[in-house]
Amino acid sequence: MSTPEKLRGLSDIYRFFRKNTTPIYFVSPTAYNILGLGQWIQGFKYITHFDSFDGGHFRVTNPEQNTEREFQSMEDMVNYLLSHKESVDLFQRNGGKGKILTVMFDEKTEEIAKQLGVDIALPPAELRTRLDSKIVTTQLANEAGVASAPNIVDVKASSYQELSALAAESKLGEKLVVQTPYGDSGKTTYFISNEADWDKVADKVVGETLKVMKYINHIPGTVEAVATRCGTMVGPLQTDITGYQELTPYKGGWCGNDIFPEILQGAQRDKIISMVKAMGDKLYETGYRGTFCFDYLVDTDDGEVYLGEINPRISGASPLTNLVTSKYGGIPLMLFHLLEFMDVDFEIDVDEIQKRWSDFGSWTQLVLKHTTDEVRSITKAPQSGIWRMLDDGNITFVRNSIDWNNVSDGQDAFYIRVYNAGDYAYLGADMGILVARGRMQTDDRQLLPRAHQWVRAINAEFEYKALDELEIPYIPTDNVRKMI
């Protein structure tokens, strides 16, 4: 028996993934989060609920749903997909072993993986759940010396008076940001400055364990990183695109990112990177390994930087991270996540690799949610591929494409379709995602004219039919609406 090779440096890693035949499956509503990884990994497959490519992507399987089914959560959908005959047959055809990647999963998924004889190439569900709590995250960050915006955690308040007293004690000021432990897209973050604000959200916060923060004027951003045995590797910083009414019905809700080299130069940037590293190393100590998303806040009044929250998973920040790290830096960040789970030893110079990702072109992604509060049946939807913005502000379909690599210039964008003709559109549904070169948001957080144009033009590609009263479609719960 030969000793398994130890990978040293990028050439070894390229060769390893090119030659390794272990099947790796990304199981999710759509393939979007880590689209394109198949270019690096021989055995890469996607198992998705939505058919974004009309059968035109050779790595994608869409297990056919034979009848109506109401998914209770993304985990529920992932478990359904994994247990489906078409997936089980696929696993078997590929030798019955392999690794699973997904965005959301639970203990049931772990049981299913065991039955299938495949490994989940992610930290255990129990650990992820624990880390997903904003309260646990804040406490761990404190231990790692990573500052959060002035806050108190693990507190409860049953009235506005109690909340203000707690805030006063810790000098958090009058304008408060209150969060419950779990949730995303700004849906469990509440801005409370007075009793009226409190009354509006009281039913959602009373009885919950809370994190209470001082409100700071800030720019929110995101960075994806990977905690490995060799240290934590930090991807390029991104800004968040949040809360625009034409993109999301949720106040403060996430609807995209910009990635551009000029973002936060100098001391601020260095500080954020060192915070992410410290956080990653701390997570690794707790048993967590692999990819995570670090949301940061830059205080626009004094320039201070803070931890916002951690998402211990593949996330909406993954697409731009992998795009930029591979296109300009030669290797997608996600490969290091996989290395941690690939039964192979490796020794890499984390800083050396990370340096490759300092110079890159600007890119952006917009998540287009359905913002109309009316359930309608979609009769026409734009197809996935490369679209071009014409001088008159209209768009035209240029060609099919299975990822964003061939977005040639600033006029082009890659659209991935989520909802298609025959589906229902309802408030908050992720209808599709747009990836383009350049930016969509200004430094002071205004959507650029081209963003308005793209959003309007893509939305104009949809056609709907009103429902008659007897048609009462299944409307997914909030847990399932967000597909990436």
Summarize as ranges the residues that interact with other proteins (CB under 8 A).
Answer: 63-64, 66-70, 79-80, 82-86, 88, 112, 115-116
Cβ atoms 425, 376 nearer than 8 A: yes
CB of 96 to other proteins, least distance (A): 12
CB of 84 to other proteins, least distance (A): 5
Distance CA 386, CA 403 (A): 9
Q: What are phi and psi of 98, to 5 degrees?
A: 145, -175
Q: Please, what's the b/e burial string for 445-463 (b: 16 or more CB within 10 A of its CB; e: otherwise)?
A: eebeebbebbbebbbebbe
Cβ atoms 239, 258 nearer than 8 A: yes
Nearer CB in complex with other proteins: 93/171: 93
Distance CA 395, CA 453 (A): 9
CB of 61 to other proteins, least distance (A): 12
Nearer CB in complex with other proteins: 70/270: 70
What is the torsion angle, in degrees rounded to the nearest 10, for the CA atoms of residue 22, residue 27, residue 31 and residue 32? -110
* Residue 82, helix vs strand vs coil: helix
CB of 17 to other proteins, least distance (A): 28
End-to-end CA distance of the chain: 43
Nearer CB in complex with other proteins: 64/302: 64
CB of 71 to other proteins, least distance (A): 9
Question: Tokens for 387?
Answer: 């679209």
* Residue 10, helix vs strand vs coil: helix
CB of 115 to other proteins, least distance (A): 5
DSSP assignment of 435-463, as one string? Answer: EEES-SB-TTS-B-HHHHHHHHHHHHT-E
Cα angle for residues 91, 97, 99 (degrees, 5° grid): 90
Distance CA 408, CA 425 (A): 31
Nearer CB in complex with other proteins: 64/301: 64
Nearer CB in complex with other proteins: 25/288: 25
* Residue 61, helix vs strand vs coil: strand
Where helices occur in 84-150 by DSSP H, the ranges are 85-93, 107-116, 125-132, 134-143
Nearer CB in complex with other proteins: 38/63: 63
CB of 67 to other proteins, least distance (A): 5
CB of 57 to other proteins, least distance (A): 21
Nearer CB in complex with other proteins: 21/115: 115
CB of 116 to other proteins, least distance (A): 7
Nearer CB in complex with other proteins: 14/80: 80
CB of 190 to other proteins, least distance (A): 33
Nearer CB in complex with other proteins: 71/294: 71
Helix axes 266-285, 134-143, angle to 10 degrees: 100
Nearer CB in complex with other proteins: 109/148: 109
Q: Please, what's the b/e burial string for 325-347 (b: 16 or more CB within 10 A of its CB; e: otherwise)?
A: bbebbebbbbbbbbbbbbebebe
